[in-house]
Copies of this chain bind each other. A is one copy, B any other.
Amino acid sequence: MTLSAAAGYELPLLLFGGFRAIIDELHGELARRGHQDMRPAHGFAMQAIGFRGATASEVGRRLGISKQAAGKTIERLEALGYARRAGDSADRRRKLTRLTPRGVEALALSAEIFDGIRDRWARTLGDDRVADLEASLRTMVPGETFRLDVPGWFGAS
Protein backbone atom coordinates (compact mmCIF):
# COMPACT_ATOMS: atom_id res chain seq x y z
CA MET A 1 0.00 0.00 0.00
CA THR A 2 1.97 2.89 1.37
CA LEU A 3 5.69 2.96 0.84
CA SER A 4 6.45 3.01 4.54
CA ALA A 5 9.98 2.78 5.81
CA ALA A 6 9.11 0.16 8.41
CA ALA A 7 6.91 -2.89 8.22
CA GLY A 8 3.79 -2.39 10.29
CA TYR A 9 4.43 -5.40 12.48
CA GLU A 10 7.58 -3.80 13.88
CA LEU A 11 5.79 -1.04 15.73
CA PRO A 12 3.98 -3.23 18.30
CA LEU A 13 7.13 -5.31 18.75
CA LEU A 14 9.14 -2.21 19.50
CA LEU A 15 6.51 -0.86 21.89
CA PHE A 16 6.35 -4.10 23.78
CA GLY A 17 10.11 -4.41 23.71
CA GLY A 18 10.42 -0.98 25.29
CA PHE A 19 7.88 -1.84 27.95
CA ARG A 20 9.58 -5.10 28.72
CA ALA A 21 13.04 -3.55 28.82
CA ILE A 22 11.90 -0.93 31.32
CA ILE A 23 10.03 -3.39 33.51
CA ASP A 24 12.95 -5.82 33.46
CA GLU A 25 15.35 -3.07 34.44
CA LEU A 26 13.00 -1.99 37.23
CA HIS A 27 12.79 -5.47 38.65
CA GLY A 28 16.51 -6.06 38.34
CA GLU A 29 17.05 -2.94 40.40
CA LEU A 30 14.26 -3.80 42.86
CA ALA A 31 15.82 -7.24 43.36
CA ARG A 32 19.19 -5.63 44.00
CA ARG A 33 17.58 -3.44 46.64
CA GLY A 34 15.86 -6.15 48.62
CA HIS A 35 12.70 -6.83 46.66
CA GLN A 36 13.67 -10.06 44.98
CA ASP A 37 10.20 -11.53 45.23
CA MET A 38 8.27 -8.74 43.50
CA ARG A 39 6.78 -9.49 40.08
CA PRO A 40 5.61 -6.98 37.46
CA ALA A 41 1.97 -7.70 38.27
CA HIS A 42 2.55 -6.93 41.95
CA GLY A 43 3.68 -3.40 41.29
CA PHE A 44 0.58 -2.63 39.28
CA ALA A 45 -1.66 -4.17 41.90
CA MET A 46 0.04 -2.16 44.66
CA GLN A 47 -0.41 0.96 42.59
CA ALA A 48 -4.11 0.15 42.43
CA ILE A 49 -4.25 -0.28 46.18
CA GLY A 50 -2.55 3.06 46.64
CA PHE A 51 -1.32 4.72 49.78
CA ARG A 52 -4.84 5.11 51.12
CA GLY A 53 -5.83 1.47 50.76
CA ALA A 54 -8.63 -0.16 48.78
CA THR A 55 -10.97 -3.12 48.84
CA ALA A 56 -10.62 -6.11 46.54
CA SER A 57 -13.64 -4.97 44.54
CA GLU A 58 -12.14 -1.52 44.04
CA VAL A 59 -8.82 -2.99 42.98
CA GLY A 60 -10.62 -5.25 40.54
CA ARG A 61 -12.47 -2.32 39.00
CA ARG A 62 -9.32 -0.25 38.74
CA LEU A 63 -7.38 -3.03 37.06
CA GLY A 64 -10.14 -4.31 34.82
CA ILE A 65 -10.28 -7.75 36.38
CA SER A 66 -12.89 -9.54 38.46
CA LYS A 67 -13.06 -8.97 42.20
CA GLN A 68 -12.18 -12.63 42.64
CA ALA A 69 -8.98 -12.25 40.65
CA ALA A 70 -8.16 -9.09 42.56
CA GLY A 71 -8.72 -10.97 45.80
CA LYS A 72 -6.27 -13.64 44.72
CA THR A 73 -3.62 -11.09 43.86
CA ILE A 74 -4.13 -9.33 47.19
CA GLU A 75 -3.77 -12.66 48.95
CA ARG A 76 -0.48 -13.13 47.17
CA LEU A 77 0.64 -9.61 48.10
CA GLU A 78 -0.27 -10.35 51.70
CA ALA A 79 1.77 -13.55 51.67
CA LEU A 80 4.76 -11.59 50.36
CA GLY A 81 4.44 -8.99 53.10
CA TYR A 82 3.46 -6.09 50.85
CA ALA A 83 -0.13 -5.67 51.97
CA ARG A 84 -2.38 -6.45 54.88
CA ARG A 85 -6.14 -6.75 55.14
CA ALA A 86 -8.26 -5.43 57.97
CA GLY A 87 -11.98 -5.22 58.55
CA ASP A 88 -13.85 -1.97 58.19
CA SER A 89 -15.85 -1.03 61.28
CA ALA A 90 -18.13 1.32 59.34
CA ASP A 91 -19.09 -1.26 56.71
CA ARG A 92 -18.63 -4.76 57.99
CA ARG A 93 -18.78 -6.28 54.53
CA ARG A 94 -15.64 -4.49 53.44
CA LYS A 95 -12.07 -5.55 54.09
CA LEU A 96 -9.73 -2.71 53.44
CA THR A 97 -6.36 -3.70 52.04
CA ARG A 98 -3.51 -1.41 52.99
CA LEU A 99 0.12 -1.46 51.98
CA THR A 100 2.58 -2.44 54.66
CA PRO A 101 5.64 -0.22 55.23
CA ARG A 102 7.49 -2.67 52.99
CA GLY A 103 4.82 -2.18 50.34
CA VAL A 104 5.03 1.59 50.61
CA GLU A 105 8.79 1.37 50.32
CA ALA A 106 8.59 -0.83 47.23
CA LEU A 107 6.18 1.58 45.58
CA ALA A 108 8.29 4.64 46.38
CA LEU A 109 11.41 2.82 45.24
CA SER A 110 9.71 1.86 41.99
CA ALA A 111 8.80 5.47 41.26
CA GLU A 112 12.40 6.49 41.90
CA ILE A 113 13.76 3.75 39.64
CA PHE A 114 11.29 4.63 36.88
CA ASP A 115 12.49 8.22 37.02
CA GLY A 116 16.06 6.99 36.79
CA ILE A 117 15.28 4.88 33.75
CA ARG A 118 13.56 7.78 32.03
CA ASP A 119 16.60 9.93 32.78
CA ARG A 120 18.81 7.36 31.12
CA TRP A 121 16.56 7.30 28.06
CA ALA A 122 16.72 11.10 28.01
CA ARG A 123 20.50 11.06 28.22
CA THR A 124 20.73 8.60 25.33
CA LEU A 125 18.00 9.94 23.07
CA GLY A 126 17.78 13.52 24.23
CA ASP A 127 15.05 14.83 26.45
CA ASP A 128 13.08 16.25 23.56
CA ARG A 129 12.90 12.92 21.75
CA VAL A 130 11.67 11.13 24.88
CA ALA A 131 9.10 13.86 25.43
CA ASP A 132 8.07 13.54 21.81
CA LEU A 133 7.73 9.79 22.13
CA GLU A 134 5.51 10.27 25.16
CA ALA A 135 3.46 12.90 23.38
CA SER A 136 2.96 10.67 20.36
CA LEU A 137 1.83 7.78 22.50
CA ARG A 138 -0.48 9.99 24.54
CA THR A 139 -2.14 10.92 21.28
CA MET A 140 -2.55 7.36 20.04
CA VAL A 141 -3.28 5.45 23.24
CA PRO A 142 -6.95 5.66 24.12
CA GLY A 143 -7.58 4.78 27.77
CA GLU A 144 -5.35 5.76 30.60
CA THR A 145 -6.09 3.03 33.12
CA PHE A 146 -3.73 0.11 33.14
CA ARG A 147 -5.45 -3.23 32.73
CA LEU A 148 -3.91 -5.97 34.80
CA ASP A 149 -5.55 -8.76 32.83
CA VAL A 150 -2.40 -9.19 30.77
CA PRO A 151 -2.03 -12.98 31.03
CA GLY A 152 -5.66 -13.61 30.19
CA TRP A 153 -5.78 -10.89 27.57
CA PHE A 154 -2.71 -12.17 25.83
CA GLY A 155 -3.23 -15.88 25.93
CA ALA A 156 -6.69 -16.96 26.88
CA SER A 157 -9.05 -18.46 24.38
A binding-site residues for B, Cβ under 8 Å: 1-2, 4-23, 26, 37, 39-41, 76, 110-119, 121-122, 124-125, 127, 129-134, 136-144, 146-147, 150-151, 153-157
Contact = CB atoms under 8 A, between A and B. Distances in A.
Contact of A39 (B21, B41, B156): B156
Given A6-B134, A15-B15, A124-B139, 6 more contacts: A12-B26, A14-B133, A15-B18, A40-B155, A124-B140, A151-B154
A131 to B, nearest CB: 6
A117 B143 CA distance: 17
16 contacts: A1-B115, A1-B116, A2-B122, A4-B127, A6-B131, A7-B115, A8-B111, A8-B115, A9-B114, A11-B18, A14-B133, A19-B19, A41-B154, A132-B132, A150-B151, A151-B151
A15 B137 contact: yes
A47 to B, nearest CB: 8
A113 B110 CA distance: 36
A154 B146 contact: no
Contacts of A121: 11, 140
A128 to B, nearest CB: 10
A22 B14 contact: no
A119 B2 contact: yes
A112 B142 CA distance: 22
Contacts of A14: 133-134, 137-138, 141
